[in-house]
């Protein structure tokens, strides 16, 4: 498929090389001619000078036949404007924008434009590298708002129901991995000590939910 990348910084150049290496047709847009040096001599895609929200520049890059568009320049405004033009004017089906401001990223996610909020994403990657064992985030949305967390349970959660666990922690059980099989449990299903429990929670609640799961349930 044809992919257009707006921004030829380190991320854009790396993405372009990776996509071309997988056999995709790639065009890179940047307003600075010198930026294209990052692509290296092995890159054979199109290099277009200009801004990624200029219609003529986008047409020159082949957006009318593009299947995907990535806005990865260093400016939030340029990225989101370019992404909206690609999606709303040219109807590109897959559009992603890099956004540094996670609050703004949340707004554009609601508008249907997937974003990569740099700070939450980078933080999550560092956490996974530094603390690889035990409870861990399996997934975090691009805005950094929600997380899918794998929990280790205290032994006294054994035989407690999913509903009891959810009420006690405020988390929502997404699925349970048990003896190599994964399933979405019913609320009246009982937990087992060896279960790997994956819960959906707001990212701000990670520490609280982890602590509640690791300790014995409160007596009622």
Per-residue confidence at 114, pLDDT binned at 50, 70, 90?
low
Q: What is the pLDDT of residues 179-204, one digit of tens each?
A: 778 999 999 999 988 888 999 988 77
pLDDT score for 200: 92
Mean pLDDT of the chain: 84
Per the CB < 8 A criterion, the answer to whether 197 and 150 are in contact is yes
Predicted model pTM: 0.58
Per-residue confidence at 111, pLDDT binned at 50, 70, 90?
low
Q: What is the pLDDT of residues 20-29, one digit of tens each?
A: 888 899 999 9
pLDDT score for 188: 94
Q: What is the pLDDT of residues 139-173, one digit of tens each?
A: 766 566 788 888 878 889 988 999 999 999 999 99
Domains present along the chain, CATH in parentheses: 2-121 (3.40.50.720), 133-214 (3.30.70.1450)
């Amino acid at each position: 498929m044809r992919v257009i990348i707006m921004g030829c910084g380190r991320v854009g150049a790396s993405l372009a090389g990776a996509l071309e290496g997988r056999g995709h047709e790639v065009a890179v847009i940047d307003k600075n001619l010198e930026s294209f040096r990052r692509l290296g001599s092995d890159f054979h895609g199109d290099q277009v000078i200009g801004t990624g929200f200029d219609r003529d520049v986008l047409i020159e890059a082949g957006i009318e036949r593009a299947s995907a568009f990535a806005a990865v320049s260093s400016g939030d405004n340029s990225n989101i404007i370019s992404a909206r033009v690609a999606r709303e004017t040219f109807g590109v089906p897959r559009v992603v924008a890099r956004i540094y401001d996670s609050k703004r990223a949340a707004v554009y996610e609601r508008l249907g434009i997937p974003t990569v909020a740099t700070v939450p994403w980078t933080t999550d990657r560092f956490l996974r590298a530094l603390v690889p064992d035990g409870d861990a985030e399996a997934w975090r949305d691009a805005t950094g708002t929600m997380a899918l967390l794998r929990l280790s349970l205290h032994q006294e959660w054994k035989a407690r129901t999913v509903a009891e666990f959810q009420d006690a922690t405020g988390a929502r059980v997404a699925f349970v991995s048990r003896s190599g099989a994964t399933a979405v449990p019913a609320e009246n299903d009982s937990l087992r000590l060896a279960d790997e429990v994956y819960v959906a929670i707001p990212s701000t609640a990670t520490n609280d939910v982890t602590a509640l799961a690791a300790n014995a349930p409160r007596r009622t």
